[in-house]
């Protein structure tokens, strides 16, 4: 049932565009401990469909009890699936309770109208209407309603929490969340005699005693036996390899003759050198930077050649280079902003001057305006390295 509903929901979002025209999306499936599956879905809207204003948000998201008379079906679903809690003082042992407080900050405050807070998160309208309903013998009002889309709740009769995030940090957080991987536990298996104390010394083989375990419920096991996808995304992302002159990676077998390997013409053909070549030959190619290239050109892995894209769309992404990798770092910087380069020299050429290094070219282009910026980049790099 979950699989059927999810497929239809993704279809509603990305084919029928019922929330607005989407340009990218990703979802990841997770199984709760007791086995219930759920999906974390991130949707990216086309510029003209992004919910920027309070009206846009209100059209998409509701955080109040639907009207029982005019929208009975939605009311039923929200009453059954979209009410948080009850938690708080009367239910201190609720799963959301931590140190006497609800982790999800319920009950929320009454809110006469939707507003955007400083971080770009909307605070949804939850009016004090006096309208309540009984959940586990407790009367809950609009402060307990989990934000949802009325159409989706009504159609799927399921818990579908819909929220807006306008802030890049929120997007970053969500991506981390969807990719955080499986829940794991460190489990100790022992029998009493293992812990016998000999003299004053406790004999403990920590490696033997601890297992890094994954918990798989029956529904997750079934999902995997059927080989259903655990995640999906679109559009495709093409990871772009790049390298300093003659420093590309070369793959060969143990017993290959090194001279023969070096003589192979294919080893000098890489995504980057072929990008140069394509730019030399095709004027149409020259309007794009290296990282934009996969939007209109397709990399043929077998033939090691870029060909003009006939259908579809892909996003290019250059591998990250650490600042400490020096010239490689500056090469990447240039690749992300120079269009139609036909050679390494071309990349290093700014206003008809060919610079000796990629760094000098970056400086000449104003990409490294001053020392301050450089230090900032260094800081960022060290965050990357440590993170």
Structure tokens at 253: 């077998």
96 vs 338 by CB, closer to Zn ion: 96
Strand 236-240 relative to strand 314-318: parallel, antiparallel, unpaired?
A: parallel
Q: Which is nearer to Zn ion, 110 or 319 (CB)?
A: 110
Give the residue carrying structure tokens 């609720």: 94
Q: 74 has which bridge partners?
A: none
81 versus 315: smaller Cβ distance to Zn ion: 81
Where on the chain is the footprint of Zn ion (CB under 5 A)?
85, 87, 96, 102, 106
The span from the CA of 227 to the CA of 305, in Å, is: 33
CB of 135 to Zn ion, least distance (A): 12
Q: Which is nearer to Zn ion, 96 or 174 (CB)?
A: 96
User: Toward Zn ion, which CB reaches closer, 51 or 85?
Assistant: 85
Cβ(160)–Cβ(141) under 8 Å? no
Peptide bond connecting 212 to the previous residue in cis, omega within 30 degrees of 0: no
CB of 289 to Zn ion, least distance (A): 47
In angstroms, give the least distance from the CB of 284 to Zn ion.
Answer: 57
Q: Cβ 203 to Zn ion, closest distance in Å?
A: 45
CB of 144: closest distance to Zn ion in angstroms?
9
Closest separation between CB of residue 91 and Zn ion, Å? 8
Q: Are 364 and 348 in contact (CB under 8 A)?
A: no
Helix (H) or strand (E) holding 53, with range, is none
Coil vs helix vs strand at 238:
strand
Report the C-alpha gap between 84 and 72 in whole angstroms.
19
Q: Which is nearer to Zn ion, 87 or 285 (CB)?
A: 87
Considering beta carbons, is residue 19 or 146 the nearer one to Zn ion?
146
Cα(140)–Cα(332) distance, integer angstroms: 55
Mapped onto helix, strand or coil, the DSSP state of residue 169 is helix
Under a CB-based contact definition with an 8 Å cutoff, are residues 342 and 276 in contact?
yes
Q: How far is the CB of 146 from Zn ion (least distance, A)?
A: 10
Q: Give dist(CA 35, CA 139) in Å, integer.
A: 29
């Amino acid at each position: 049932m979950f699989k059927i509903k999810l497929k239809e929901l993704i279809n509603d979002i990305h084919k029928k565009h019922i929330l607005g025209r989407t340009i990218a999306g990703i979802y990841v499936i997770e199984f709760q401990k007791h086995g219930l599956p759920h999906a974390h879905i991130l949707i990216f809207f086309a510029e003209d469909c992004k919910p920027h204003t309070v009206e846009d948000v209100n059209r998409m998201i509701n955080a109040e009890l639907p009207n029982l008379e005019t929208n009975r079906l939605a009311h039923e679903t929200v009453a059954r699936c979209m009410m948080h809690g009850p938690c708080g003082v009367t239910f201190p042992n609720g799963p959301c309770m931590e140190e006497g407080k609800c982790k999800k900050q319920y009950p929320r405050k009454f809110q006469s109208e939707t507003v955007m807070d400083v971080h770009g998160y909307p605070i949804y309208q939850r009016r004090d209407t006096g309208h309540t309903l009984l959940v586990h013998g407790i009367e809950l009002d609009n402060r307990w309603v989990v934000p949802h889309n009325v159409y989706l709740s009504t159609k799927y009769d399921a818990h579908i929490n819909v929220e807006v995030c306008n802030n890049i940090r929120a997007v970053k957080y969500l991506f981390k969340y969807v990719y955080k991987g499986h829940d794991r536990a460190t489990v100790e298996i022992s029998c009493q005699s293992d812990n016998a104390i000999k003299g004053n010394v406790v004999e403990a083989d920590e490696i033997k005693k601890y297992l890094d375990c994954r918990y798989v419920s029956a529904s997750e096991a079934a999902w995997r036996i059927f080989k259903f996808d655990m995640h999906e995304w679109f559009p495709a992302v093409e990871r772009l390899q790049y390298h300093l002159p003659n420093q590309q990676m070369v793959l060969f077998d143990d017993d290959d003759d090194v001279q023969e390997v070096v003589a192979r013409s294919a080893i000098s053909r890489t995504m980057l050198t072929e990008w140069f070549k394509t730019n030399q030959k095709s004027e149409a190619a020259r309007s794009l930077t290296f990282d934009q290239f996969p939007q209109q050109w397709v990399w043929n892995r077998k033939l090691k050649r870029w060909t003009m894209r006939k259908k579809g769309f892909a996003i290019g992404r250059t591998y990250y280079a650490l600042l400490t990798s020096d010239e490689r770092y500056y090469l990447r910087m240039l690749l992300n902003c120079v269009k139609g380069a036909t050679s390494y020299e071309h990349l290093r050429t700014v206003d008809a001057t060919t610079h000796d290094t990629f760094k000098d070219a970056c400086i000449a282009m104003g990409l490294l305006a001053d020392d301050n910026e450089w230090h900032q980049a260094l800081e960022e790099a060290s965050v990357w390295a440590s993170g």
